[in-house]
Amino acid sequence: MKIQALLPLFLCFLFSLSLSAQDLDSLQKAKEAKAAQLSTLQTELKTLTGQVNTLKGEVASLTDQLTPYPRWKTGLGGNLGLNISNFNNWFPKGQSSTSAINIGFSTTGFANAEYEKAFWRNRASLTLGWLKFDDKNNSEDEDGFQVSADAFNLTSLYGLKITPKLAASVLGEYRTSILDGKINDPGYLDLGTGFTWTPQANLVVVINPLNYNFVFSSEESGFESSLGAKILADYAAKLANNLNWKSNLSAFVSYEGSERSNWTWVNTFSTAVKGVGVGLDVGLRNNQQEATAAGRDDNPLQVYWIFGLSYAISK
């Protein structure tokens, strides 16, 4: 009796195993069908991607052929910093009643022309700054605006393309101050020839083994011109979302001694959105002749920075 009672349960168990095996077989067949369909679609996608890339290249080539030479690109950007402070009877300060205004301004513009077998790149930059500090309790202190930053730079580079990334080129660069009667005193004019390497669209490197550095100044300043090599590098990159970095290095290595060499490195960071944002300009410079003219026995690193509102316009 017990065996007869267990028989239906055993039959139900066998039936369940049969259903499970059928379900697994059905799932396996469905998987194989889906895998075959996926493989077919992936093959079609690969073919379509290749066709799309080919068409993109053909469209770019036709666009290039339809765009006339010269192809000009222009732009203007800069940074404006303003800081104002005022204290009256603020006794924790050593000078309890003071007012101060710090104004800084920098701007850079460029106009670049691309020819079929040549290029012409032009760049101008101007950095100016003024500081006014007034100790209200000292009637003899200097309370007018004083120059805190003053630099003008103009560069023109013309090259004949040897390859898409390498060109024979000539470079002219002029640098001076413009305030307090410092125009062309001193002034620097570099004229040289060499090569321009453009490994990528946002990096330009100029190396001129033959370059003459003309230095203009009043007779008593003691500046000297000399022959040497010129290195110029210009780089632009997007570091993060809406954070842009532009860097420009200009260096002259004199063949007549390190005391006549000099370099200037300017970096600009900006968060311009639709042309307006926050910016930071940092300038570094080393020039033995300028340090000597200023009465320094050493050659310290010259530094300036401006933080404030940034703007950018391009075409």
Is 10 contained in some domain?
A: no
Same domain assignment for residues 37 and 158: no
Same domain, 209 and 291: yes
Check residue 186 and give its pLDDT. 87
Q: Name the token pair of 25.
A: 């077989």
Q: Which pLDDT band holds residue 203 (cuts at 50, 70, 90)?
A: very high
Instruction: Please compute Rg for the chain using Cα positions.
Output: 34
Convert the pLDDT of each residue in 49-97 to its tens digit.
Answer: 988 998 998 888 888 778 888 999 998 888 888 777 777 766 565 676 7
Average the pLDDT over 246-274 and give the result.
91
Answer yes or no: is pLDDT of 294 > 60. yes
User: In this structure, what CATH number is given to the domain that contains residue 179?
Assistant: 2.40.230
Q: What is the pTM of this model?
A: 0.74
- Exposure pattern of 116-125 as b/e (b: 16+ CB <10 Å)? eebbbbbbbb
pLDDT at residue 4 in the model: 59
User: Would the pLDDT of 149 be above 90?
Assistant: no
Q: Are residues 43 and 129 in the same domain?
A: no
Average pLDDT for 25-45: 84
CA pair distance 46, 54, nearest whole angstrom? 12
Residue 292 has pLDDT above 80, yes or no: yes
Number of domains composing the chain? 2
205 confidence band (pLDDT: 50, 70, 90): very high
Encode pLDDT of 170-179 as tens digits. 999 999 999 8
Question: pLDDT for 89-118, tens place per residue?
Answer: 665 656 767 788 888 888 999 999 999 899
My answer on whether 29 and 136 are in the same domain is no
Residue partners of 57: CB distance under 8 A and separation at least 6: none
DSSP 184-231: TTTEEEEEEEEEEEEEETTEEEEEEEEEEEEEE--GGG----EEEEEE
Domain that holds residue 53: 17-67
Asked, for residue 3, whether it belongs to a domain, the answer is no
Which is more confidently placed, 192 or 83?
A: 192
Domain assignment present for residue 7? The answer is no
Q: What are residue 32's phi and psi, to 5 degrees?
A: -65, -40
pLDDT at 10: 60
